[in-house]
């Protein structure tokens, strides 16, 4: 069962996740981070950047793999996930850009880029901690409903709903690419620790389906139920459709060690 942790703010979620990542890097200076984009992980990157600024540790050997990338955006496009990861995580955390990989969104290579990305993750020894957001469709990464739990990095077609949600980053919805390269649900399952964050009422259905719903490829987030080490950090609004709230609170209050 996932550990479900309630927070009263995104900042508090960021502090919890950042503490876990910091202690991972102290234990393993060449830790491999799985990096999500979008709005959800921003508080994690901000809290980790603040912690590193206040009390620096060596992050020069930390490696990172982005979850996904749009297909077909020109190199250097400000909303390509290569640009977003650089802006939101690599620069503020002081990571070495040479250590950070993002799936290729070059249309010319989409049939092979997934295999190359999987090989790179394996060569790095796998992802130690994967940061995840969740979409309103229930996607993790860009694994839209119907994605196989065995899927690896490959090209996917974004739903109209996801494109509409992400239109806020583009001049119009028509500018949001239709295709992406995304780590598969099988790729995500191979990471050693998953930290899934969600905030706001619009994520409540997706969180309930992921944490407590039937395990089904129609609800891709439910893949977390197949993973042995998952932490779900949610605010009250995102948690509002969970059934076992009391038990999650009780378990957190009586956790035998501090932190996630
Ligand atoms: C991002 C990703 C997506 C987002 C999800 C939620 O790399 O793979 O699964 O995590 O779409 O997006 P936000 O956080 O913007 O609500």
- Return phi, psi of residue 172, to 5°: -155, 170
State residue 73's pLDDT score.
98
Task: Give the Cα separation of 161 and 143 in Å (integer).
Answer: 13
Q: Distance from the CA of 36 to the center of ligand 1, in angstroms? A: 7
For the chain, residues with pLDDT lower than 50 are none
> N- to C-terminal Cα distance for the chain?
14
Ligand 1 contacts CB of residue 138 (under 6 A):
no
- The candidate with the shortest Cα–Cα distance to 209, out of 189, 225, 194, is 225
The SS3 assignment for 5 reads strand
What CATH number should be reported for the domain whose range is 3-253? 3.40.50.1360
pLDDT on residue 252: 97
Strands annotated E in the chain? 3-7, 32-35, 63-66, 68-70, 100-101, 129-132, 154-157, 179-182, 193-198, 230-235
The pLDDT, as a whole number, for residue 1 is 83
Q: Is 10 in the pocket of ligand 1 (CB under 6 A)?
A: no
Q: Is the CB of 140 under 6 A from ligand 1?
A: yes
For the Cβ of 139 lying below 6 angstroms from any atom of ligand 1, the answer is yes
- What residues have CB less than 8 Å from 258, skipping those under 6 apart? none
Neighbouring C-beta atoms of residue 175, cutoff 10 Å: 14
Q: Does the C-beta of 133 come closer than 6 Å to ligand 1?
A: yes
pLDDT at 84: 98
**Could you tell me the distance, in angstroms and rounded to a whole number, from the CA of residue 256 to the centre of ligand 1?**
31
Percent helix, strand, coil in the chain, to 5, is 45, 15, 40
Alpha carbons 14 and 50: distance in angstroms, whole number: 10
- The domain ranges of the chain are 3-253
Q: What is the pLDDT of residue 139?
A: 97
Tell me the CA distances in angstroms from 244 to 43, 72, 225, 235, 238, one per residue in order: 26, 43, 15, 15, 14
Which pLDDT value is given to residue 91?
A: 98
Tell how far the Cα of 41 is from the centroid of ligand 1, in angstroms. Answer: 8
Instruction: Give me ligand 1 centre to Cα 68, in Å.
Output: 10
Task: Give me the residue label for tokens 């956790």.
Answer: 255
For residue 128, what pLDDT is reported? 99
Give residue 252 CA to ligand 1 midpoint distance, Å: 26
Beta carbons within 8 Å of 223's beta carbon, 6+ residues apart: 140, 143, 149, 185, 188, 189, 215
């Amino acid at each position: 069962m996932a550990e479900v942790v309630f927070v009263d703010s995104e900042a508090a979620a960021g502090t919890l996740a950042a503490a876990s990542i910091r202690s991972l890097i102290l234990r393993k200076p060449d830790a491999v981070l799985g990096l999500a984009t979008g709005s959800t992980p921003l508080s994690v990157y901000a809290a980790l950047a603040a912690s590193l600024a206040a009390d620096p540790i060596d992050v020069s050997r930390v490696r990172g793999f982005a979850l996904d990338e749009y297909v077909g955006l020109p190199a250097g496009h400000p909303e390509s996930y290569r640009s977003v990861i650089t802006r939101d995580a690599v620069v503020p955390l002081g990571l070495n850009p040479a250590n950070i990989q993002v799936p290729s969104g070059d249309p010319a290579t989409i049939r092979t880029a997934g295999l190359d990305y999987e090989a790179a993750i394996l060569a790095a020894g796998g992802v130690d901690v994967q940061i995840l957001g969740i979409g309103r469709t229930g996607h993790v990464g860009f694994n839209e409903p119907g994605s196989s739990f065995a899927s690896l990095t490959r090209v996917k077609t974004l739903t109209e709903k996801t494109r509409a949600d992400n239109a806020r980053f583009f001049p119009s919805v028509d500018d949001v690419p239709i295709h992406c390269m995304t780590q598969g649900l099988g790729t995500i399952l191979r990471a050693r620790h998953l930290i899934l964050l969600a905030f706001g009422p619009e994520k409540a259905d997706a969180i309930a389906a992921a944490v407590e719903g039937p395990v089904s490829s129609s609800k891709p987030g439910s893949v977390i139920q197949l993973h042995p080490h998952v932490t779900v950090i949610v605010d009250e609004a995102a948690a509002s459709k969970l059934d076992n709230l009391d038990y999650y609170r009780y378990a957190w209050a009586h956790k035998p060690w501090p932190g996630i």
